A and B are shown apart, each in its own frame.
Chain A
């Protein structure tokens, strides 16, 4: 944790029609941080995460990445440095696992095909899915898909990884596999932001917990402080329900 600031968010707002989902969030993400975002469903936590790499274009507010204001012009460069893992994996259905993984590095001219394929094979071996290199996503289980989606995001060596409920669509036995990969990334010093419902995992991995409700950050702090002595009644109420 050498303390360099990755992301600065200033007064972020997002509305869908008349529906105000994010109501002014200020936030900072330092390098090496592992931020877990908690909150009741419909609180706007996923939308907040999706605003960071403009999956949802913010209605107002500013996002700085590496000190640069994120705009429509530089968003593609920014996205190459902020990887994202989705709830529903979103592997490209018409491409094999191998092609899914090498597509971006080759198209973005970051690697030659041979190098990209070599790297893919290494990563697949690492997660134990070497045999699936030429399979199509439709033939994989949810857990396998999500593990591949994670290494797909890693192919571009991003500075930050965003996880949007990465285990919500998985059956219980494959959740562990996915979480262990995330844990490994965290141990290697990856900067991570994750929206999840896995409270015990959050406790274990987080360096900071952020609680969002009604589109605002209600409370944030270290996991010990957050879980043992929450400051606000809203968080107490939430924790009573989930723990």
Chain B
């Protein structure tokens, strides 16, 4: 235990170690950030195709989206990452950060699509009917009525997805990328530390702090979106 404590002190008082962790942390955040942007964008499209009224134009896109989410959600992320790195983007000189962003973005899209789909479907159909009965267009109904209510249901689950992606990016160290997890391994295997436990513990603190911050922000957004419900409670 004393040894553990000494190593923590050593880690935090060595600028090179902190520098390494911050660099690793930056890569983790870069991958997670852009993967989530891709995920939300693509996921929204997939969800919209999925909940759209069936028609002959949409039959094939709907089928593709269904297959896509099934395959992505049905296979391990680590495997998808490996296939991206060693099969699809096995191009010499192709930047690995882009490969990683695409791999996580495509993965996140499938989960985000489910989250958004669920959010849209949980809006009372009566809300759509009210819009239809007034002669409003489907587009107006979606943007003015369904979407604002769906977002309220989506935000908490989307917050979960953000947290999941940030933590899951740790597996990029498997393909040799210098993320937060790899920084911990680097420090742990260095000549002075020679133990994984303390750097791993420190990296965990980094993840924890980030995720705590994100949870806090998501809660804030949730609260402001619940405005129209809160007034009911104050009645």
Contacts and interface: CB of A to CB of B under 8 A. Distances in A.
Interface of A: 53, 55, 76-80, 83-84, 86, 88, 90-95, 103-104, 107-108, 135-139, 149, 152-153, 156
Contacts of A149: 130
Given A86-B126, A86-B130, A93-B127, A138 B232 contact: yes
A218 to B, nearest CB: 28
Contacts of B149: 93-94
15 contacts: A53-B133, A77-B135, A86-B129, A86-B130, A90-B127, A90-B129, A93-B149, A94-B145, A94-B149, A103-B144, A108-B134, A136-B231, A138-B229, A138-B232, A139-B234
Given A76-B137, A77-B135, A90 B126 contact: yes
Interface of B: 124, 126-127, 129-137, 140, 144-145, 148-149, 152, 227-229, 231-232, 234-235
A83 B228 CA distance: 26
Contact of A104 (B126, B135, B228, B234): B135
A-B residue pairs, 8 tightest by C-beta: A138-B232, A80-B135, A90-B130, A79-B135, A104-B134, A84-B133, A90-B126, A136-B228
A107 B134 CA distance: 10
Nearest to B138: A76
Contacts of A90: 124, 126-127, 129-130, 133
B127 A92 contact: yes
A147 B127 CA distance: 17
Nearest to A53: B133
Given A90-B127, A93-B149, A94-B145, A108 B136 contact: yes
Nearest to A92: B145
A137 B107 CA distance: 39
A94 B228 contact: yes
Contacts of A93: 124, 127, 149, 228
B235 A139 contact: yes
Contacts of A103: 134, 136, 144
A94 B130 contact: no
A91 B130 contact: yes
B55 to A, nearest CB: 11
A92 B130 contact: yes
B135 A76 contact: yes
Contacts of B136: 76, 103-104, 107-108
Contacts of B131: 92
Contacts of A79: 132-135
Contacts of A94: 145, 148-149, 152, 228
Nearest to A82: B133
B135 to A, nearest CB: 4
Nearest to B148: A94
